[in-house]
Structures are given as C-alpha cells and as structure tokens.
Amino acid sequence: MFHTLTCLGMLLFSAVAPAQEPAVPKELLPVQGNWVVTLFNGEAPPVEIALIIKGNKYDNTVNGESQETGTIKFDPSKTPAWFDLVIETGNDAGKVQLGLIQLAGDTAIIKLTVAGTTTRPESLDADTSGAFVVNVERRK
C-alpha cells in the first residue's frame, strides 16, 4: 500500500512540476532580452518596435502586438557578428533574414537584409542595397 501511494504521489508531482526551460546556448547569452528600436535607417520609428529574444526564439512586436516570430542564429566569432532571423510566423514565414550586429553592452546596431535575400550585408554602413539598419536598446 505504501509503495502504491508513493508511486501515485511521484506521478502526481511529476505531472504538476513546471517544465524546465532549456538552457540558453552560451553564444546567444549576449542578445537575450527585450530590445527596442531607437533608430530605423537613421530616423526615430513612428511606433514602438521591439525584438524580444528568449533562448533561441524571437518575437518581433509593433506597439506590443506580435508581428513575427521565429528562431535566431548568432555567430559572435565573426566581426561584426552574424545575426540571422529564421522566420516562422508573420508575412515572411519560411524566409530567412541575414544580418550583422555590433553589440555594445545594452545597445546594438543591426543591419538586416530584406527577408529571403541570400546575400549577407558586408558592413554595418548604410547603403542602397535594400538592407536596413536599426539601432536598438535593451530594456530591463
């Protein structure tokens, strides 16, 4: 009887125990958090645009509403670091945005191509290639 109750208790405990979130890969630690766009191609955005990164997932929001989600790839061994968004939901679902990122504490400059473009930007400089440059700030 005691054995049956112990097994039942363990089963109930495991059913209600919170699932542990997978550990964040070490290369993604620097980009974790809520990033708010402060400049878009050199101008203040007319709406609040945020990129929320948790683990290897991101959520791109406009005025607090999710517009796009997916996974993020970050390679800090490159200079500037490579920053790619693999889009899972939203208008560009199924596409990848290739980019570069330069981190400086709680600020960053990100240059991203138009979703689906297969050539990565070569620098963070503004250009006419159709890629866009955003300045972001991590909010706590």
Report how far residue 38's alpha carbon sits from residue 32's, in angstroms, rounded to the nearest whole number. 17
Give the pLDDT confidence of 74-99 residue by residue, as tens digits.
999 999 999 999 999 999 999 999 99
In a domain, 2, yes or no: no
Whether 87 maps to a domain, the answer reads yes
**Residue 132 domain-assigned (yes or no):** yes
- What pTM value is reported for the model? 0.80
State what percent of residues in the chain have pLDDT above 90: 71
pLDDT, mean of residues 61-68: 97
**Domain extent for 71:** 25-139
- Spatial distance between the Cα atoms of 58 and 78, rounded to a whole number of angstroms: 21
Domain count, the chain: 1
* Residue 52: half-sphere exposure toward Cβ, Cα within 13 Å: 13
Give the residue, 127 or 115, on which the prediction is more confident: 115
pLDDT-based confidence at 27, cuts 50/70/90? confident
Output the domain CATH number for residue 64.
2.40.128.490
User: What is the reported pLDDT for 133?
Assistant: 93
